[in-house]
Amino acid sequence: MKISRNDFFFYSCWLLCLFAVAGCTSNSQKQVVICSKDFTEQLILAEILAIHIEAKTDIKVERELNLGGALCHQSLATGKIDLYVEYTGTGFTNILKQKPISDPKKVLDYLKQEYPKQFQAEWTEPLGFNNSFAIIMRGDEAKKLNLQTLSQLGKAAPKLRAGFGPEFKDREDGFPGLAKTYGIKFAEEPKELLLGLLYQALQQKEVDVIAGNTTDGLIQSLGLVVLKDDKNYFPPYQAVPVVRSQILEKYPELRPVLAELGGKISEEDMRKLNYQVDGKQEDAAQVARQFLQQKLGDSKPATPAK
């Protein structure tokens, strides 16, 4: 088919306009990147944030899940991601290198003061639960040795074996400080285990003591015991969304949307959510979606995780 010069000019202009519109649409699309650390609770919380943001705004959420150790903070500080849920004790002691203190308000106030200056990021509203480290044993073993507190563990430790995640094994508010506070010295150097294998190692009696978290869903279902931190060694670990300041300026609607989640997740809620994923093998995104539907009436489907 022969095309006239006028037709060619018309179609050329039409294509140029089409590409220009497509380019504008692509560039103007609102988007944030959320990340999570590499354990179940973080996956659930990342999905809760993502689903809620997508339900209440026109911002598209991209997920970067299962980043290990301090990678979430590093990615936030370098602008590779925009927000994630951090714990106040981690930010205070592990990131800002402060000595652990037990006052949750002082810890959060300090974080809100220093993060904008040092990392151009802001701590928003606490989600409502505190997830402290927990030193955990099999229930029958703790009963046999009459262990209820960490002070008592200090005396029994030479006969026991421990397994910790890599972060807890080395960080300031982890095992080094715990060992000094309670005089804990195990029969051998604690094994370094992936977080997902800690409960399995404890259940299979490869170790006698692990460091988990107070909101872990498997504690009750496996008949385990959390030893009481009777000297209040562990600092507060309130779960709080941390967001790059530039993103809050770019998308001011994010601030009230995140504030809607403030105080909405109790420790009991978080344990149940964790158990649904770890114990019942349910999908983290689906668990998060059901929770938001019950709590806030969010119903807009989330973008599937990569």
- Predicted local distance difference test score (pLDDT) of residue 171: 79
Q: Tell me if 31-130+237-295 shares its fold with 133-226.
A: yes
- Lowest-pLDDT range of 37-46, 161-170, 264-273, 297-306: 297-306
Q: At 193, list the tokens.
A: 């285990």
pLDDT of residue 16: 52
Lowest-pLDDT range, 22-26, 41-45, 221-225? Answer: 22-26
* 185-241 per-position pLDDT tens digit: 999 999 999 877 999 999 999 999 999 999 999 998 899 999 999 998 988 999 999
Q: Which CATH architecture fits 133-226?
A: 3-Layer(aba) Sandwich (3.40)
d(CA 34, CA 188): 39
- In the predicted model, is pLDDT for residue 305 greater than 80? no
Does residue 7 have a pLDDT over 60?
no
Let me know if domain 31-130+237-295 sits in CATH 3.40.190.10: yes
pLDDT (tens digit, 9 = 90+) per residue, 246-294?
Answer: 999 999 999 999 999 999 999 999 999 999 999 899 999 999 999 999 9
Domain residue ranges in the chain: 31-130+237-295, 133-226
pLDDT reported for residue 296 = 85
> For residue 50, what pLDDT is reported?
98
Residue type, 165: G
Q: Is residue 41 pLDDT above 80, yes or no?
A: yes
pLDDT band at 300 (very low <50, low <70, confident <90, very high): low
Beta bridge partners of 210: 136, 163
The enclosing H or E element of 63 equals strand 60-67
pLDDT at site 22? 46
Rounded to an integer, the average pLDDT of 51-65 is 96
Q: What letter represents residue 251's amino acid?
A: Y
More confident residue, 174 or 205: 205
Average model confidence (pLDDT) across the chain: 89
Residue 173 confidence class, pLDDT cut points 50, 70, 90: confident
Q: pTM, whole model, 2 decimals?
A: 0.78
Give me the sheet containing 162-164, strands edge to edge: 191-192, 162-164, 209-213, 133-138, 224-226
